[in-house]
Amino acid sequence: MKTNLDEFNEIISECRRFAKKEIQPEALEMDLQPKFEWLRSVWEKSRSLDLPLLLIPESCNGVGYPEKCAALVLDMLAMECAGVASLFAGHFAACTTLNSLKKQEKALTADILKIMDADPLPVFSVIFPFDPDDSSLGLERINGKNILRGRSSLALNSMHADYFLVLIQSSGDTDAGCCVCLPNDSPGVEIEENARLPGLKINPFAKIVFNDVVVDSDMIIASGGPGEKILAAAQKAYFGFIAAMAMGASRSAFLKAMSYAKGRYQYGKHIIHHEEIQRMLGCMQMKLDMGTAGYLQAFNDETVSLPALSSKGRLAKVYCTDAALEIVQDAIQIHGGYGYMHEYGLEKVMRDVKILQLMGGRNPALHIQVIAQHPVRFGQ
Amino acid sequence: MSDETVNYGLRARSPDLLDTVPGLGKLKSACPKYIEKAEFAQKTARDFAKNEIAPRVLEIDQKCAADPAYFDWELWETANAAKLNITPIPEKMGGLGWSALDNAMLVEELTSACMGCASNITFNTFGLLGAMVECKTDIVLKIISQMVDAQRRSKPLFWSWAITEPSAGTDVEDEEAMATMRPSTHAKKIEGGYLVNGTKCFITNGSLAHYVIATIPADSAHPKESMATFFIPTTTKGFSVGRIERKCGQKASQTAELFFKDVFVPEENVWEPPGKGLRHTREILSITRGFIGIGGLGIARGALERGIRYVSRKKVKNHRLIDEEWVQMVIADMIKDINTVRCAGINFAMALDAYHVWKMFDSVPVKAGLKIVPEKILLGKSLQALAEKSMFSHAGSEFKKKFVSDEQIETFVYYGSLVKVAGTDLAVNITSRVADMVGLEGLSDQYGIEKSFRDAKVTQIYEGSNQANRIDIVKHALSKMGIKNLGVPDENKP
Ligand SMILES: Cc1cc2nc3c(=O)[nH]c(=O)nc-3n(C[C@H](O)[C@H](O)[C@H](O)COP(=O)(O)OP(=O)(O)OC[C@H]3O[C@@H](n4cnc5c(N)ncnc54)[C@H](O)[C@@H]3O)c2cc1C
């Protein structure tokens, strides 16, 4: 469906209102003492804005909005808490995965999409093959059964997901890429301990172990060629979503720094009048603007064809998360000692952003991948 | 792979001072004892950090996260038994007689294990530093004997240095800024002393302190001209501790708010009279800023050490993460940055030994006095009573002035700020890059890398924000170049 600018702006302001009302009052406390029920209640309340159904096609009782719109929603939610936003990001990535199926497979997907419309609304998590350990995931056919085994890398929504969408990358010619959907209570699915990362604490990461899980054929959503395509589409969207959350989180840090600088008097004036503070704020504004433009561009289907222009979601993720960390660290600096204290909320944003920076792979390695995985671009 | 196989940082062959700063070899041949002592200090500190701090830092951090008032007394007792909290006090008087260079070794090693724990052990020298500024013989002797006595009896004796106020952080450290400061504290002159009121904030060890050294203006309208330094026992009526802050990192070190309500400070506890408080602050900063830079270096080195251990074990497909070229390039760059800042830190520490208060310990009268006078007398009541006599009390101040001039203080604020900015920017940069290198899993709290990342940021803020430090750097450097009266007239501003 076509969504015009006004509609986008309306979504932005509604999500902003929602985040301020439902997320902001508890976000800091939930960072200290995460209560999963609280996150679940925010999830349920977000139904009033149809957020969980945002990316589900209208034909399946969803809203059918484009991914760019989901990114804007994440940006707004992350302004109050990137941890809360990340729950939606994991879910949206799952919806993207399903939406990216080829037309003829839509009937099958519709069944799964129906699950998404259940009551209470289920949360999805996508398991990406980002950081394969010694025992990465594999789907094999043994005695006529599909057996999923292995251990995932750290997964988003691990503690909250009702369903896992497992993306398996092909390794050589042995097994082609595929996508499997599993309820979290399937026999053999084991969620390991919370990895205890310093950020996004309300939505902890954990590895998921699949101990010879038998997968029904109709839960194998795609395999072979389509599996690879789904993987690529899901990754692209996921990277864009991470970028959007990073911008949202740093957007709030920027705004806080602006307002603090206007009120803090030091060295004979309000510190916003010191050139160095203006330079810092200007630089933060630049990164925010460029990052936002970058992630929005990553969701544009159509773009001008300038030479050497790539619209890779992963580069938007790298740029936006790196920029976000710099913005937040400067916002803390502008707050002086207060910025380092939990109650000011900025140090939490720094921890959250650090995790966003590492999600989906290490940023320096992603730089390498962008070139190395596309040999055509350098003529080989 | 076992921890011991990564021969770096706390697990490096010890001492390795001459491997990392080989130029010191030249100095070693000229002053072998000076460098050998530093090597000994490095080994002592490294062993302590490795055996006592490193094994419990993560647990301490978690306990402090749950309760910011938690304090690990067991670690403090072990450090106290090793005299690591009174290192600069001469050996003859019960300390370790460590030079500034030796202390730089101590700070780098301890902070590489944990900056918060290191603060708990080393920040106590604020008491000594504070007393050494005016250097009245009786006060210095009293402070030293109290510190040594407490150490011997294994009794905690904490000092806080309280300059920051809710309304003034940068403003309490800089002359130009202080002229426009809006104070949150006030000292009213009354008969026999001062009545102090107001609030100080973000005070390290404020909640544990037995004594607070506080700068407070006597005239709120003219803070620069009336800033004084007071020595305040925390048992004084009207003194109380507010909230212990919940911080991002360095949780093992407590940061507290202090309240003064009609606190009476008798005349003899006025360490600097109105008008000289800022000078007192600047002298302390001229020493401490550089050491904070060295602390930043330690944080960075500790993070890199943990990072290298992680990437050399982490398997990616069929290789180790450290086998990847980009990881090696990142490590090379970090080693380069760390080593560069280490050289700067060591240079700063040696300059303190050569030209600042440490030079006094090396002077003939002090050396001779320490040699001749028996230990019992040095710390005894009779010498103390003699020192209290005006003539002798001022002798210390006069003697010190010969070594440390006002100009030198400002030069050392400059030197210290260089190291402070370099070391703390290094800490923030390296801890973040190590995190980027190890990835999501490596940030699990069990590896301590995320703790280094959390610990680092505040080093750019305290001991003067890095912006305030840069102001000191540029003012001093440009004035040496003959460029003065800086500033764009308001009407020309964009
Ligand atoms: C964990 C911790 C421990 C501490 N321990 C102690 C302690 O033991 N004793 C003590 O007295 N204090 C202590 N402090 C306080 C610390 O020294 C101050 O936080 C610091 O000096 C900065 O002051 P501020 O926080 O008031 O920031 P402000 O001075 O308000 O500065 C706010 C921002 O404005 C910037 N700024 C100010 N003036 C200028 C200018 N002219 N040009 C450009 N930028 C400018 C600053 O760089 C900063 O970014 C501690 C702080 C922390 C966080």
Q: What is the pLDDT of residues B197-244, one digit of tens each?
A: 999 999 999 999 999 999 999 999 999 999 999 999 999 999 999 999
Interchain CB contact of B443 with A (< 8 Å): yes
Gap from B167 CA to chain A (nearest CA, Å): 8
Query: In B51-134, which residue ranges form alpha helices assigned H by DSSP?
Result: 57-66, 73-81, 100-113, 115-122, 125-134
State if residue B467 touches ligand 1 by the CB under 6 angstroms criterion: yes
Q: Would you place residue A355 in the very low, low, confident or very high pLDDT band (cuts 50, 70, 90)?
A: very high
Residue-range domains of chain B with CATH: 3-154+281-477 (1.20.140.10), 159-275 (2.40.110.10)
Residues of B in contact with A267 (CB under 8 A): 170-171, 174, 176-177, 180
Whether residues B457 and A347 touch (CB distance < 8 A) is answered with yes
* Residue B412 tokens, joined: 């050392």
Instruction: Compute the nearest-CA separation of A354 from chain B (Å).
Output: 8
With cut-offs at 50, 70 and 90, classify the pLDDT of residue A174.
Answer: very low
CB spacing of B169 vs A266 below 8 angstroms: yes
CATH architecture of A124-223: Beta Barrel (2.40)
From the CB of residue B179, how many other CB atoms can be counted at a distance below 10 Å? 15
Residues 272-311 of B with CB under 8 A from A: none
Whether residue A274 has pLDDT greater than 90 = yes
- Give the range among A29-43, A163-177, A329-343, B323-337 with minimum mean pLDDT: A163-177
Q: How far apart are the first and last CA of chain A?
A: 40
Query: Residue A108: what pLDDT?
Result: 57
Q: What is the pLDDT of residue A21?
A: 98
pLDDT of A1 over the 80 cut: no
- Is A267 a pocket residue for ligand 1 (Cβ < 6 Å)? yes
Evaluate if residue A181 carries a pLDDT over 70.
yes
Please determine, for residue A172, whether its predicted confidence score (pLDDT) is greater than 70. no
Confidence of residue A109 (pLDDT cuts 50, 70, 90): low
Contact B457 A266 (CB under 8 A): no
How far, in Å, from the CA of B144 to the mean position of ligand 1? 30
Task: Note whether B144 and B93 are within 8 A (CB).
Answer: yes
Q: In the predicted model, what is the mean pLDDT of residues A22-48?
A: 97
A265 within ligand 1 shell (Cβ under 6 A): no
Cα A192 from Cα A208, distance rounded (Å): 6
A31 pLDDT above the threshold of 90: yes
Q: Does residue A117 contact residue A58 with C-beta atoms inside 8 Å?
A: no
Closest C-alpha to A154, from B464, B112, B76, B438: B438
Query: Is 90 exceeded by the pLDDT of residue A116?
Result: no
Q: Which residue has the higher pLDDT, A240 or A113?
A: A240
Q: What are phi and psi of B475, to 5 degrees?
A: -60, -45
* Tens digit of each residue's pLDDT (9 = 90 or more) over B441-485: 999 999 999 999 999 999 999 999 999 999 999 999 999 999 988
pLDDT at B1: 44
Same fold, A5-116 and A124-223: no
Cβ(B255) to ligand 1 under 6 A? yes
- Above 50 in pLDDT, residue A173? no
Tell me the domain boundaries of chain A: 5-116, 124-223, 227-372
B156-193 pLDDT tens trace = 999 999 999 999 999 999 999 999 999 999 999 999 99
Under 8 Å CB pairs connecting chains A and B tally to 125
Contacts of B479 (CB under 8 A, 6+ apart): none
User: Are the beta carbons of B128 and B147 closer than 8 angstroms?
Assistant: yes
Indicate whether residue A277 lines ligand 1 (CB < 6 A). yes
Residues in chain B: 494
> Beta strand B270-272 with B227-233: parallel, antiparallel or unpaired?
antiparallel
**Considering chain A, what is the average pLDDT of its residues?**
89
pLDDT in the model for residue B323: 97
Neighbours of A73 (CB within 10 A): 30
Sign for the pseudo-dihedral over CA of B461, B464, B468, B470: negative
Q: What is the pLDDT of chain B when averaged over all its residues?
A: 95
Ligand 1 atom 14: residue of nearest CA: B202
Please give the pLDDT value at position A104.
45
Higher local confidence (pLDDT), B483 or A112:
B483
CATH of A5-116, one of 1.10.3720.10, 1.10.540.10, 3.40.1390.30, 3.40.630.30: 1.10.540.10
Place A175 in a pLDDT band, splitting at 50, 70 and 90. very low
pLDDT at B236: 98
pLDDT at B3 over 80: no
At A69-84, the pLDDT tens digits run: 999 999 999 999 999 9
Position A56 confidence tier, pLDDT thresholds 50, 70, 90: confident
Top mean pLDDT of A181-185, A336-340, B313-317 is at: A336-340
Q: What topology does CATH give the domain A227-372?
A: Butyryl-CoA Dehydrogenase, subunit A; domain 3 (1.20.140)
Average pLDDT over residues A189-193: 96
**Residue B465: which of A333, A357, A362 has the nearest Cβ?**
A333
The answer to whether residue B100 scores a pLDDT higher than 90 is yes
Residues of B numbered 314-333 whose beta carbons fall under 8 angstroms of chain A's beta carbons: which are they?
315-317, 324, 326, 330
Nearest to B440 among A154, A265, A347 (CB): A154
CB contact under 8 A, A133 and B315: yes
Comparison of pLDDT for A140 and B409, the residue scoring more: B409
Residue (of A298, A142, A281, A282) closest to A235 by Cα position: A298
Whether A350 sits inside 8 A of B457 (CB atoms) is yes
Q: Report pLDDT digits (tens) over A197-244.
A: 999 999 999 999 999 999 988 888 877 666 777 788 888 899 999 999
Q: Is the CB of A273 under 6 A from ligand 1?
A: no
Which carries the bigger pLDDT value, residue A155 or residue B393?
A: A155
Angle between helices B125-134 and B137-152 (to 10 degrees): 170
| pLDDT tens per residue, range B136-156 | 999 999 999 999 999 999 999
3-state secondary structure of A186: coil
pLDDT tier for residue A372 given thresholds of 50, 70 and 90: confident
Q: Is B18 exposed, middle or buried (0-12, 13-18, 19+ CB in 10 A)?
A: middle
Q: Which of B284, B171, B161 is nearest to B223 (CA)?
A: B171
